[in-house]
Structure 1
Amino acid sequence: MDAIILVGGQGARLRPLTLTRHKSLIPIANRPALDHLLSWLSSFGIERAILAMGQSQEDLVRGYPEGSWGSITITHVVEHERLESGGAIRNAVRTAKPEGPFLVLNGDIYVDFDLQAALAAHHRTNARLTLALCPVIDPSPFGVAIVDSNSQITGFVEKPPPGTAASDLVNAGVWLFDPSLVQEIPPGAVRVEETLFPSLVGRRENVLGYCFEGLWADLGTPARYLELSQSLVKRSGAPLLGRAVQVAEDANIEGSAIGAGSSVAEGAHVTGSVLWEDVRVEAGARIKDSVLANGVTIGAGAVVSGAVIGQGANVTVGAQVQQGELLEPGEQRG
């Protein structure tokens, strides 16, 4: 079976992190996000990953060239204009020609559930479309699906106001398509979530909602990205340290992931944060609930709390970066 991975977006909501790195390459537990999706697909026997890419994504092309990636074959399909999810699926099918039912995944998710069980349910029920659905505590930022007692989807609500949702099941961005559906995607740059999916449900077609229990995250914002990292660190039971990370004996690292080549000097504290590669944290600095891109320097005694700092930025000695602040790549604070 083939899987189409939608990686054509620009990751605008993840800026400043995605100003210097494709959103599918941001590190999750010190591995690129796309690594996790490919490993997950591979573990369930998926044979080919079709990367539906936008233009000017050279870093993604270099990181995941066409050819073998473990047991999976990677194929590139490049969009020459913005196509949204519907156009991207149609373009990928026309170009790469998957045979039989195929998977579609959003490229900015982390997911870990039993895909084989979902595939079995799709075939057992003769569904034309199966959507993976994940229960969440607050569904208001997401598209919500309403299902009946037979797990058939009967309706959708997009981003319901807090406390009003008729369901806590959100569209997890993993879809199983019958190939006949492609010709029903409207022409042009359209989103299947807003066109094909509600049309099928409105016509009472067989659309299955496969509800799963497992770790899932939409990486669309720095806050969600940070929350996922904190969950993975908690699950590991210890901080996640990349290659050649140097941590002083009296430095304190809690609930954090620290990328290759980074250093944390004496007396520094790093709590609940993500540090990419080659980050330097000098003596006595304190970092909490923050994301620091590669090459960032945090000066001695500086304090960073609840911030997102772009590549190569410099927080000078004793400076402060406060909750909600974003520092652009190369910016200096202090």
Structure 2
Amino acid sequence: MKAVVLAGGEGTRLRPLTFTRPKPMLPLGPNPIIHYVLSHLSSNGFHDVILIVGYLKDQLMGYLGDGSRFGVRITYVVEPEGVAFGTAGSLKLAAHLLDETFLVVQSDTISEISLTEMVHFHLDRGGEVSIALTEVEDPSLYGIAVLGKREEIVKFLEKPVPGTALSNLASTGFYILEPDVVDYIEDEKWDFARDLFPYLMRVGEHLFGFASKSFWVDVGELKGYLRGAGWVLGKLDQDPPTDSRALGNSKPRVFVRGNIRMGQRVQISGPSWLDNDAKIEDDVKIRPGTVLEEDSQIRSGTFLDQTVTFRHTEIGSNCSVKSTIIGERAIVGDNVTIDSAIIGQGCTLGDRAKILPGSRLWPNTRVEADATVDGIMAVPRDKSFYFDTGLGLYSGILASSIGEFLEALKIVPLESLEYHIGRRDFEKWTKDVLGSIQLADNIRTLRRSQSKGEELRHQLV
């Protein structure tokens, strides 16, 4: 059976890291995300892979080649530039290759779900579609399925309003489809959960849910990415890279590759991964789930917990960094505190800066000494939102962060709010520039309510 891997997206939820790398090429321990996606397919007997690529495709294609080192054969299908494809819509590009039952896989999903068992389930049920499902704590973040007899899906809801979900069984992004399903896809922008699956149910096709309790995580956002990294690190003891070695005898293990320089009284708890030329000075404490990529420099007295640093990063003395990703060539000063944030490539953080949870700094952003970043995503001026009151009529107000955007909504003229929400400008900017799909979805719901005047302002703020 062929497997189709969807790898053409821009990775907006992990921006700014994905400005320079496609999401499947972001490091997740010793290897990029796509390494673990293809290894999972190969170990489940899927050796014929169709990879749909688009955004920054050359990096993916250069790394994967023909797929032979992963035990698979890769056929590439390239999305044309300038066309926005939905997850289901992109299948139309590969329709000529899909002449039998096939599997669809997302390129940002790490899982132990048995795809072999899922195939047996699909063949036994005899439906058009089988969807792998898993139980989740917050159904409002996912496509949710309600099952009836013989696990047939009787209702499918995309991101139900909190507290209204009739099930906690979420789609994992693993689908088995019959080839004629592709004929139902009417538009290249169609999404599986939002468009295709509800449509198939309306026309009477049968969809079944394969519920699994095996490990699964969407690594396309910060929390999931760090959880995925923890899963990878936890597996190193069973299958470490051939060029790595264990550091000491602690359990869980700390694995290293190449030359690592460490000072005195360093405490490292596994599972963790340290790559070549990492330098760790005196009295550093590293907690589980931490990854230091090549040439990462950690100065004395710093504390790292569940943190991933990309190549050539520098973290100063006496810092505290928790649940954070730091992009390549970022420089962090002394006594800096960072919690649950994404620091973009080439950023510079001054001494004693505080980066609070939820913050994201765009590439090459400079944070001054003693400054506090509170949920602000710094955006370059050419990416700022300029509030107009009509076509070509600038109001004199712009926003370069979520904070500035929310403040601007309180003061811009009402005609500006009505102008931009009618053109869907707010949705596009929050999704494409800020990378906040949830905020864009909330604004879309508000637009459809057709609120006007001060009521619109109140709802937006």
Q: Structure 1-normalised TM-score? A: 0.91
CA separation in 2, counterparts of 1:244 and 1:31? 15
Give the CA deviation at 1:84.
Answer: 1.5
Tell whether 2:117 aligns with 1:90: no
1:222 is matched with 222
Give the CA deviation at 1:3.
Answer: 0.7
1:110 is matched with 110
CA separation in 1, counterparts of 2:291 and 2:15? 15
Tell whether 2:294 aligns with 1:277: yes
Q: Could you say if the C-alpha distance between residues 321 and 256 of structure 1 is closer, same or farther in structure 2, counting changes exceeding 3 Å?
A: farther
Give the one of 318, 322, 326 matched to 2:338: 322
Give the CA deviation at 1:240.
Answer: 4.7
Give the CA deviation at 1:79.
Answer: 0.4
CA separation in 2, counterparts of 1:141 and 1:192? 15
Q: How does 1:1-334 map to 2 (within 5 A)?
A: 1-66=1-66, 68-80=68-80, 81-94=83-96, 97-233=97-233, 238-244=252-258, 246=260, 247-248=262-263, 250-261=265-276, 262-271=278-287, 272-316=289-333, 318-334=334-350
Task: Give the unaligned 5+ runs of structure 1.
Answer: none
Deviates more, 1:132-141 or 1:167-176: 132-141
Q: Could you say if the C-alpha distance between residues 19 and 241 of structure 1 is closer, same or farther in structure 2, counting changes exceeding 3 Å?
A: farther
8 A Cα contact 1:55 1:78, kept in partner: no
**CA offset digits 1:111-147 (Å, max 9, x no partner):** 1121111101111111111111111222221111111
Q: Structure 2-normalised TM-score? A: 0.67
2:248 is matched with none
Q: Could you say if the C-alpha distance between residues 72 and 60 of structure 1 is closer, same or farther in structure 2, counting changes exceeding 3 Å?
A: same
CA separation in 1, counterparts of 2:217 and 2:259? 27
Task: Give the unaligned 5+ runs of structure 2.
Answer: 238-250, 351-461
Identity of aligned residues (%): 29
8 A Cα contact 1:151 1:210, kept in partner: yes
**What is the RMSD of the two structures over their aligned residues, measured on CA atoms?**
2.1
What secondary structure sits across from 1:284 in the alignment?
A: coil
8 A Cα contact 2:226 2:323, kept in partner: no
CA separation in 1, counterparts of 2:41 and 2:231? 21
Between the two proteins, the alignment pairs up a number of residues equal to: 331
2:364 is matched with none
Q: Which structure has the higher relative contact order (CA within 8 Å, separation 6+)? A: 1
Give the CA deviation at 1:41.
Answer: 0.9
Give the CA deviation at 1:234.
Answer: 5.0
CA separation in 1, counterparts of 2:323 and 2:114? 34
CA separation in 1, counterparts of 2:87 and 2:183? 14
Amino acid at match of 1:165: A
What secondary structure sits across from 1:322 in the alignment?
A: strand
Bigger radius of gyration: 2
Q: Could you say if the C-alpha distance between residues 264 and 105 of structure 1 is closer, same or farther in structure 2, counting changes exceeding 3 Å?
A: same
What secondary structure sits across from 2:68 in the alignment?
A: strand
8 A Cα contact 2:158 2:193, kept in partner: no
8 A Cα contact 1:185 1:192, kept in partner: no
Deviates more, 1:194-203 or 1:126-135: 194-203
8 A Cα contact 1:230 1:255, kept in partner: no
8 A Cα contact 1:226 1:274, kept in partner: no
CA separation in 2, counterparts of 1:184 and 1:297? 51
What secondary structure sits across from 1:9 in the alignment?
A: coil
Deviates more, 1:230-239 or 1:31-40: 230-239
Q: Could you say if the C-alpha distance between residues 230 and 120 of structure 1 is closer, same or farther in structure 2, counting changes exceeding 3 Å?
A: same
Give the CA deviation at 1:266.
Answer: 2.4
Q: Could you say if the C-alpha distance between residues 169 and 255 of structure 1 is closer, same or farther in structure 2, counting changes exceeding 3 Å?
A: farther
2:425 is matched with none
CA separation in 1, counterparts of 2:67 and 2:273? 30
**CA offset digits 1:87-126 (Å, max 9, x no partner):** 21110223xx134101111111111121111101111111
8 A Cα contact 2:254 2:268, kept in partner: no
